[in-house]
Amino acid sequence: MSAPGTGSSPDARFLLVDRDSATAGALLDSLLSCLVAAPTVAEARSGRQATDLLRSERFDVLLVDLGSVGDLSPQFEDAVSRLVRLSSGALVIALSDGASVSATLSALRAGAHDHFVRPMGGRAFATRMAELASRHGKSLALQLRGEEHAGRFGRLVGASSQMQVVYEQIGRVAGSTAPVFITGEPGTGKDICAEALHEFSPRAHRRFVAVDCGAVPAHMMEAELFGIAGGAIAGAGEDRKGAAEIADGGTLFLDEISHIDLSLQGKLLKFLQTGTISRVGESGVRQLDVRLICATNRNPMELIAERRFREDLFYRLHVLPVHLPPLRQRSGDALALAQHFLDRFAAQEHKRFDGFATDAAGQLAAREWPGNVRQLETLVHRLVVMFDGGEVDNAMLAAADLDAPAPATTAPPPVMLMRRPAVLPMWQQEQRIIEEAIASFGGNISLAAQALELSPSTIYRKRQTWAELEGKRGAA
């Protein structure tokens, strides 16, 4: 998959070298099922058969199973090197069924562009190939189904530069097993971002389990996460799996993780360190393989300072940070999101709408959306329910917009009618500078802080202050 909005190339040519037709077929089925236009794929069952094809045909991508080229050389590095020399500049990706460091290093030393461990979901595979092609100056456009329109990545919608940074981050970290820490104001789509991280990961074929930590009573949270042994508490007659166990092999998403109390945070830290859990009332341990993603709209550094969140747990979770920008900072995305929601809800309600009139589109673009994407989604849903169809104009939008500020009842003094340049408050100007710096470093707050000559804790503290100021403005 190329960057969102690029076209698909039906002329892309792949050569897959794999002696096992079953695993080769599974890989191709997974990859081709998610692409808008399928590339041409040739298959070779041995290294020698691959060399014959490479001498007679040109390929854009060479996928090499390391266990299938032993007929060229017993050494991975020598075998792959021979294929690389014949590949005429193709993107070369080594494949194996195990995360062997020595195999990876051998493939890279031989000239392969990367080493992928199977199984890997087709969407994640295509995303990482396109990322590699872009990095190495190769021409390769693979467009995923459901992303035929510009500015989409999974269920995330938006073509702004801020969202392009988010898309790039997701594509870069989705294949890792390390924890991801998502931050952002309420309504920015942290849950959808977590789903995208799972969908584009090698775990996409396994379970994605989400827990809203703010909606579970504190006394039930441990059982919700780790399960209950039969008879451990009143009413628990049978063993019950927790969310972590249900997500074994897949992804566990803990939304609003700041709501977990300190005593349970220690057990969550142990789970991260050892990969083991014990159900409530159980003395033994269970080994799990779970990728953890968490999210919060709170400032974690403030929580740590207030002794409401363990610092050691935060740094264990904060390995791969992703920050979702508020809608007011995503120039032009409001209208794209509104059209997306209009199409979706119109289909649900069996109605036909013809988009937004110029005046309504201007109103949508001008709003600051303190409730972010969720507020916009609710507005469009209400609008679709209230009206029968047609083009959405300003009057329809105003009727559905219950959150719009009330119009002034008296005319402002004449002096206020003079045209003056808009001047943002100092805190908003500071916010813009810092958020642009964070975006320029791919969401890495530490690097942005260094460039701005600030400490990371200062940025976290300022973000909390900005959220409070936005809340006051929204309530005013």
**Long-range CB contacts (< 8 A, 24+ apart) of 460-468?**
460/299, 460/300, 460/301, 460/302, 461/299, 461/301, 461/302, 462/430, 462/431, 462/434, 463/299, 464/298, 464/299, 464/302, 465/427, 466/427, 466/431, 467/185, 467/297, 467/299
Q: Which residues contact 186 (CB under 8 A, 6 or more apart)?
A: 297, 371, 372, 374
Tens digits of residue pLDDT in 356-385: 998 888 889 888 899 999 999 999 999 999
Tell me what pLDDT residue 256 has: 94
Can you read off the two tokens belonging to residue 356? 């937004």
Residue 412 has pLDDT above 60, yes or no: no
Can you read off the two tokens belonging to residue 449? 């802080």
Tens digits of residue pLDDT in 91-137: 999 888 765 667 777 788 888 888 887 777 677 777 777 777 766 77
Tell me what pLDDT residue 416 has: 46
Tell me what pLDDT residue 287 has: 94
Can you read off the two tokens belonging to residue 20? 């096992």
Q: Using CA of residue 128, residue 245, residue 208, residue 443, what is the dihedral sign?
A: negative
Q: Which residues contact 421 (CB under 8 A, 6 or more apart)?
A: none
* Least trusted range by pLDDT, from 47-56, 278-287, 316-325, 424-433: 424-433
Domains of the chain and any CATH numbers: 13-135 (3.40.50.2300), 152-323 (3.40.50.300), 328-403 (1.10.8.60), 426-475 (1.10.10)
* Least trusted range by pLDDT, from 122-126, 139-143, 175-179, 272-276: 139-143
Tell me what pLDDT residue 418 has: 45
Can you read off the two tokens belonging to residue 98? 């195990």
Mean predicted lDDT score pLDDT of the chain: 83
Tens digits of residue pLDDT in 163-191: 888 888 888 888 889 999 999 999 999 99
Instruction: Give the whole-angstrom CA distance, residue 464 versus residue 370.
Output: 14
